[in-house]
Structure 1
Amino acid sequence: MSEFTFSENFSVTEEIKSTFEVDGYIIIKSVFSQEELIKIQTAIGAKGGVREHAYDLDDGAGLKSKMALWNHPGDDVTGMVGKCEKVAGTMEKLLGGEIYHYHSKLMMKEAKTGGQFVWHQDYGYWYNNGCLFPNMGSVMIAIDKCDSENGCLQVIKGSHKLGRIDHVNVADQVMADPVRLEEVKKHLPLEYASLDPGDAIFFHCNVLHRSDQNRSDRRRWVFICSYNRADNNPYFEHHHPLYTPLKKVSNDAILTCKNVSDFTGKWFVEKSDNKTLSR
């Protein structure tokens, strides 16, 4: 996997952008410091906060994961994650134009019981939300160490060039056409995105990805911010937002933000409202 390291003078170079365009993803090490991670985890666990909006996702193979999903970043600490330059600004440069916050998620695979996520493309179902072009992407930030033992992200390198693949429902998830998927795996390499806490993987919405069940003694929590290009405004209203201008904040905003527990305006999506799960 192509890896880069975050620093105070980090910028999206031609090498970084080229790697993203060829592979469909990049890993940036140490995007968040230990101090920032502690503050993010405090905000996640705050009373009435994002963790309390989590619901189970059946993996179709006997285990479950938990997910909390919200549409607008808000002005709390977790909102600063989705608005900061090192996340949103980097994705904006990778996608080649103004972006807005499509949604964020806290994905929780607990030790021993965390469910798998089947092979899919995010655009496999975002397409059905009225987004005409695959000018979209996500940033997965490791809260815990993520490796092959506790169900880290797996990606198929270069699979974003395949275009959108048809998807089918599996339990509480959406899966890429399994017959086509087997052919894809004969031609493109599978990579394991092992991440240390604070690392992030930026990936295109058409990259095929999945993760295994967590049978280990360690939990695996990740924070995912997803974005849509402003010129790709969905043509109908759905359970995620239409174009909403994103006011990016500086990289020190997480540490300076004093709002840990006011989640006004985040627009949490409950399981019954998530149309993706009913397709």
Structure 2
Amino acid sequence: MSVVTPEQLRQFHEEGYMILEAVMSQDQLEGLRAETDRYIGMLHREMDAQGTDVIGINHRNSRYFVHNKHQHSRILTDFLFSDLMYEVSTAALGDNVYLFHEQYVIKAAEKGSKFSWHQDSGYVSHDHKAYLTCWCPLDDVNEENGTVYVLPYSRAGTRERIEHVKEEGSNDLVGYFGDDPGVPVICPAGSVVAFSSKLFHRSGFNRTNKMRRVYLPQYSPEVIMNKEGTAPWAFDIPFVKDGKRVAYPGTYAVKEDAVTV
């Protein structure tokens, strides 16, 4: 049975997102959860070394964006190149798929801060083909614990990348300043919310007494280069080429030692 239905795929192309409820296996879900504490601990050690509670858009005991650790985790690589991610990414992007980026997005209990309206493409400083964000909640998500809100293309009035401005204090990049509150995503742990990098989205505060954990892989339909065209902007790891899968669980080299933030 296909994970992505024709109706879900139609919504993705027309409005920029689709919600695939509870599609992860229990092993995948538990494995991704197990890595969370390890990465938060590493980030805290780096903050301690620098004598700060803020590194970029990471704020201690508030929110964390722990990125690009798959080189040091078999759990992450097996998920990134899994059958599930193959089906979702090819449905959205077609016959060529590259791993572009991956990160944990974690809101701490009772303190997790909001994240302002933005497009993921707003963090890339030049025009490029839209890539795919797979927002994978590791906890049940709702409006109380800071779920993501999406702004469908038809309500945003655009499906193009907009220039963003940096928000003072949070270091967030913001690209939408309208009054539309967006559509809250309410779904169980183990779901995949797949959306275009040019879809506006935001998230609210975590008002519960538990962390809200999300793992967020991103895939591109081609290698996205930097503005100068001299090097890849992020990762350029082939997953699918000309419709043929070239990366599978267990095939990517993992270095388990010397992990740093």
TM-score (norm 1): 0.73
Unaligned runs of 5+ in 1: 1-8, 271-279
The answer to whether the aligner puts 1:147 opposite 2:136 as a matched pair is no
The answer on whether the counterparts of 1:112 and 1:216 sit within 8 Å (CA) in structure 2 is yes
The answer to whether the aligner puts 1:135 opposite 2:133 as a matched pair is no
| Deviation of the 1:165 alpha carbon | 1.6
Aligned CA-pair RMSD: 3.2
The superposition leaves residues 192-232 of structure 1 with CA deviations (integer Å, 9 ceiling, x where unpaired) of: 01121101100001111001111222210000001111264
| Counterpart residue type for residue 151 of structure 1 | G
1:216 match: 208
**Of 9, 19, 33, which aligns to 1:17?**
9
The superposition leaves residues 142-188 of structure 1 with CA deviations (integer Å, 9 ceiling, x where unpaired) of: 1111110010000011248431122111122111152xx34xx3xxx
| Counterpart residue type for residue 54 of structure 1 | L
| Counterpart residue type for residue 230 of structure 2 | F
The answer to whether the aligner puts 1:237 opposite 2:201 as a matched pair is no
The 5 Å alignment of 1:263-274 reads 263=256
Unaligned runs of 5+ in 2: 45-53, 240-245
Aligned residues: 238
| Deviation of the 1:92 alpha carbon | 2.3
1:54 match: 43
The 5 Å alignment of 1:1-279 reads 9-45=1-37, 49-54=38-43, 56=54, 64-70=62-68, 76-126=74-124, 128=125, 130=126, 132-158=127-153, 159=156, 161-170=158-167, 171-178=170-177, 181-182=178-179, 185=180, 190-230=182-222, 232-234=224-226, 235-237=229-231, 240-241=234-235, 243-246=236-239, 247-249=246-248, 253=249, 262-263=255-256
Q: Structure 1 residue runs of 4+, over 4 Å off?
A: 55-59, 71-75, 231-234
The answer on whether the counterparts of 2:225 and 2:231 sit within 8 Å (CA) in structure 1 is no
Other structure's SS at 1:81 match: helix
The superposition leaves residues 81-137 of structure 1 with CA deviations (integer Å, 9 ceiling, x where unpaired) of: 1111212431222123411111111111111111111100011122x1x5x423201
TM-score (norm 2): 0.78
The answer on whether the counterparts of 1:156 and 1:190 sit within 8 Å (CA) in structure 2 is yes
Q: Identity, % of aligned pairs?
A: 20
Task: Assess, with a 3 A threshold, how the Cα gap between structure 1 residues 143 and 137 changes in structure 2: closer, same or farther.
Answer: same
Other structure's SS at 1:227 match: strand
